């Protein structure tokens, strides 16, 4: 009996030491957990948002930003909202390879919509990193002809025609409606879309939150070098060179080539099981295939089926707790509100 107890104790000790070493290894790679303490988490969010000092988060600004995020009247047609392509019920994406916009126009560059969840922790926004923060990003889709196809003037004019919105801007910002404040409010709402996961708890010391299979997947993830790009609090979100070791097999799907230096924003791996399809052009639907493709394209190695399955099992532990977001009701349009322009 003593021998059996000793063996079980030894196994438990070895498992605990393995978990401790694994967590330390992940932290040494620069992977950063989301804090479990709400105050610490809010501090991290504010530090990650470059415009947080100019536009601090308040309840009124959050509620206004949420309403604007879902309101399709910010589009020329009156039927497309931010949530259309960044659907909070679909992992913050739209679940298709390339988004469809105004007049049923497919994205001309065949760009896949990145998730909006945890996007505050990206060091840059858009696949080519052309926006520094969420407020700057919000303006892009609203005014892009193949997306929401509005203009700053149209957005402001429509909102000013609705007294309830005029009052909300007055309350939230002590200002009249401006396009910059529309973007700021949406960005403030998006700051809150963070999803702490079991993996964060593991890194913070609770070694039981990952099972043995998930821990093995993390070990394989680290051993293969995946964390060389997928690190930080978002396990991604920074500009990195693409096609480092080999050509991407679907490079001819769309014409996106990255920024001027060929750099591409590394997508976050948080909630990655929810954000199919994968890559900047949404050409790969299988998470396992995406893992193996990254091995060859970025690392110059072969990740076999067993290793890929292990990594996928770990990646699913990054699916977090989604914030509760109640779909808002919108104030009524008035006789002064411009009519939708569908351009059929």
Distance CA 155, CA 15 (A): 57
Distance CA 20, CA 16 (A): 6
Active site residue 54: no
3-state secondary structure 60-120: HHHHHHHHHHHCHHHCCCCCCCHHHHCEHHHCCECCCCCCEEHHHEECCCCCCCCCCCCHH
Question: In 3-state terms, what secondary structure has residue 163?
Answer: helix
Using alpha carbons only, what angle is made at residue 271 by residues 269 and 277, rounded to the nearest 5 degrees?
A: 80
Question: Distance of CA 65 to CAs 92, 135, 153, 315, Å?
Answer: 16, 11, 18, 31
Active-site annotation holder among 147, 190, 307, 310: 147
Are 285 and 250 contacting, i.e. CB atoms less than 8 angstroms apart? no
239-241 and 263-265 beta bridge pairing: antiparallel
Distance CA 88, CA 322 (A): 9
Distance CA 56, CA 59 (A): 10
Structure tokens at 257: 């080539």
Question: In 3-state terms, what secondary structure has residue 218?
Answer: helix
| Positive/negative CA dihedral, 316, 321, 323, 324 | positive
User: Exposure string (b/e) for 12-23, b if CB count within 10 Å is 16 or more?
Assistant: eeeeeeebeebb
Q: Which residues are catalytic?
A: 147
């Amino acid at each position: 009996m003593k021998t059996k107890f000793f063996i079980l104790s030894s196994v438990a000790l070895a498992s605990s030491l393995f978990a401790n070493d694994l967590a330390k290894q992940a932290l040494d790679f620069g992977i950063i957990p989301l804090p479990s303490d709400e105050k610490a988490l809010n501090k991290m969010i504010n530090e990650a948002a470059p415009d947080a000092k100019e536009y601090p988060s308040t309840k009124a600004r959050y509620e206004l930003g949420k309403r604007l995020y879902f309101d399709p009247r910010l589009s020329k047609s009156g039927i497309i909202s931010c949530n259309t392509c960044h659907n909070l019920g679909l992992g913050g994406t739209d679940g298709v390879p390339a988004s469809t916009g105004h007049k049923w126009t497919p994205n001309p560059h065949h760009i896949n919509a990145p998730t909006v969840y945890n996007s505050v922790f990206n060091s840059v926004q858009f696949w080519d990193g052309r926006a520094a923060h969420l407020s700057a990003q919000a303006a892009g889709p609203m005014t892009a002809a193949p997306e929401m196809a509005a203009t700053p003037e149209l957005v402001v004019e429509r909102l000013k025609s609705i007294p309830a919105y005029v009052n909300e801007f007055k309350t939230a910002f002590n200002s009249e409606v401006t396009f910059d404040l529309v973007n700021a409010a949406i960005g403030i709402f998006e700051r809150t879309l963070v999803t702490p996961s079991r993996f964060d708890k593991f890194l913070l010391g609770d070694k039981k939150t990952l099972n043995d299979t998930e821990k093995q997947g993390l070990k394989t993830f680290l051993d293969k070098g995946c964390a060389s790009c997928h690190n930080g609090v978002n396990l991604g979100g920074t500009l990195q060179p693409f096609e480092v070791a080999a050509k991407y097999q679907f490079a001819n799907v769309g014409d996106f080539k990255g920024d001027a230096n060929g750099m591409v924003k590394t997508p976050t791996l948080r909630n990655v099981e929810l954000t199919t399809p994968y890559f900047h052009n949404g050409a790969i639907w299988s998470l396992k295939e995406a893992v193996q493709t990254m091995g060859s394209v970025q690392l110059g190695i072969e990740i076999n089926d067993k290793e890929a399955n292990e990594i996928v099992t770990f990646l699913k532990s990054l699916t977090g707790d989604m914030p509760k977001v109640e779909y808002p009701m919108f104030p009524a349009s008035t006789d002064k509100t411009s009519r939708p322009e569908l351009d059929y």
